[in-house]
Amino acid sequence: MKILAIIPARGGSKGVPGKNIKSLDGKPLITYTIEAAKESSLISDIVVSTDDADIAKVCATMGVRVVERPDEIAGDQSMVMDAVRHTLDVLSTENSHYNLFVLLEPTAPLRTGDDIDQTIQILQKNNADSAATFSETDTPPTRIWKIEHQSPVPFIEGANPFLPRQQQATGYFLNGMVYVMKTEMLNKHPDTTSFLIGKTTAHIIPRNKVIDIDTEMDFLIAEQMMKAKK
């Protein structure tokens, strides 16, 4: 079983310039993801897909291979799936083929090697085609509203947001920590942009272990979470 970890790391970030190598608790953000991939006992190889020379330099210091991402799939509107397909295509020309690939986005610095391995094992145990990590939402989905013509309406038709929390439905969100997929699924679904296709399964991660960094405030929260963990 050969398993490839793909870390997609664009250079461009409008919200936080240079986000993927911005310092978090004294280290570039992307290093936490590389370290977690190295901690995994199941991952065979690690590759970073990037269009940025500075990110590539950080990866080189950690002994991780970089696949240069073409500009046409490195813009603000580019899909992560395009970077994944490009990476696998490059490796296949070198006769490197993998049974599974694991997508690890650099914006989830709290993940561990165990989180990665457990997600892979859940996929294998359930004989699934794809798996991802989820966490429970802070707000039950039955308490979410939408505004129509300036009037608040329950987002889920028929929901009663005023019931006690214990009687509300439990919701889950994709927390971005780990995605796993059989590589053969990309050939079966050549137009997909989703990382949950075929038979899917979920690895539930406690909410207090999750941070998905997108803003400067997220960096501050992540640092406090790391200090608390220490």
- Domain boundaries of the chain, sorted by first residue: 3-137+172-229
Contact 212, 173 (CB under 8 A): no
pLDDT of residue 39: 98
Report how far Cα 85 is from the mean position of its chain's Cα atoms: 16
Which residue from 127, 229, 105 is spatially nearest to 175, judged by alpha carbons? Answer: 105
Residue by residue, DSSP assigns 157-179 as TT--TTS-GGGSPP-EEEEEEEE
CA distances from 192 to 34, 69, 80, 203 (A): 26, 19, 11, 22
pLDDT of residue 137: 96
Cα–Cα dist 200/180, whole Å: 10
User: For residue 14, is pLDDT > 80?
Assistant: no
216 — pLDDT class (breaks 50, 70, 90): very high
Residue by residue, DSSP assigns 71-86 as GGGSSTT--HHHHHHH
pLDDT of residue 228: 87
Angle between helix 29-39 and 113-125 (nearest 10): 50
The structure's pTM equals 0.94
**pLDDT tens profile 62-101:** 999 999 999 999 988 899 999 999 999 999 999 999 999 9
Rounded mean pLDDT of the chain? Answer: 95
Cβ-proximal residues to 225 (8 Å cutoff; 6+ apart), any chain: 110, 208, 211
Contact 39, 46 (CB under 8 A): no
Cα–Cα dist 64/51, whole Å: 15
pLDDT of residue 98: 98
pLDDT of residue 12: 76
**pLDDT tens profile 136-193:** 999 999 999 999 999 999 999 999 999 999 999 999 999 999 999 999 999 999 999 9
Which residue from 128, 160, 121 is spatially nearest to 141, judged by alpha carbons? Answer: 160
What is the third-level CATH fold of 3-137+172-229? Spore Coat Polysaccharide Biosynthesis Protein SpsA; Chain A (3.90.550)
Q: Which residue has the higher pLDDT, 16 or 175?
A: 175
User: For residue 117, is pLDDT > 80?
Assistant: yes
Which residue in this structure is represented by tokens 């090697």? 113
Question: b/e for 186-216, b at 16 or more Cβ within 10 A?
Answer: beeeeebeebbbeebbbbebeeebbbbbeee
